[in-house]
Amino acid sequence: MTTTAPSVLFVCVHNAGRSQMAAAFLTHLGGNRVTVRSAGSAPADTVNPAVVEAMREVGIDISAETPKMLTARAVEASDVVITMGCGDACPYFPGKRYLDWTLDDPAGQGVDAVRPIRDSIEERIRGLLTELGIEVRA
């Protein structure tokens, strides 16, 4: 049995929407039992304001988050890499578990369009925690 927390990296193009929501949900629901990273292949300057608002509605504040550039080091340091529309921009390292989550892109969308994306991400995060054997934090 491993004594280190599993590490998960979420990747999308701008790191301003889907990957930010996924990282926030995993941090919120998994606590310190999982290491969480997010990045983008072409990061935006800021997190999408509609995404910030949609997450605030469920009690998670990501207003201080900033998009980060995807690096080979981040991929290499992760056990699970979850892509969300980054295409071939994500480096591949043998021995990593890769998942691709097909989700609508919240870029340019209002909060009404972001809510169903947010809810789908939360559902997937809960499933991921179950797969990783991590109890969802209350």
Q: Is 86 a catalytic residue?
A: yes
- pTM, two decimals, is 0.93
Read off the tokens for 118: 């947010």
* Bridge pairing between strands 7-12 and 97-100: unpaired
Catalytic member of 8, 9, 11, 12: 12
2 is catalytic: no
Question: What pLDDT tens digit does each residue of the chain (138 aa) get?
Answer: 445 899 999 999 899 999 999 999 999 999 999 999 999 989 999 999 999 999 999 999 999 999 999 998 999 999 999 999 766 666 677 888 999 999 999 999 999 999 999 999 999 999 999 999 998 876
72 is catalytic: no
Tally of CA atoms within 13 A in the half-sphere of 38 that contains its CB: 24
